[in-house]
Amino acid sequence: MDSKREYELRCASIGQRVRVDMANGECIEGQADSIGDDGSLRVLVERSQDELIRGTAVAIRAGDVVHLRRDVNR
């Protein structure tokens, strides 16, 4: 098994709803989907100040990742 796949299997963020606070002040929320070939965390964006990236997958290379609780009312 390659090291990227091993890392994905151990990464607690994969499959979780997350908020990412980036150094530039931007904040996005979405589901952590996978690890990119460059080691970045790929997040499927649900909420962002930038409307252009909503609904897309973005590569997060630096930022504070917070796991969000599931909304029990959904």
- Residues 54 and 48 sit within 8 Å (Cβ to Cβ): yes
Predicted TM-score of the model (pTM): 0.81
pLDDT band at 73 (very low <50, low <70, confident <90, very high): low
The pLDDT value given to residue 74: 56
Walk me through the domains of the chain, giving residue ranges and CATH numbers. 3-67 (2.30.30.100)
Q: What is the pLDDT of residues 12-70, one digit of tens each?
A: 999 999 999 988 888 999 999 999 999 999 999 988 777 767 788 999 999 999 999 87
| Residues 50 and 29 sit within 8 Å (Cβ to Cβ) | no
**DSSP assignment letter at 71:** -
pLDDT for 4 equals 80
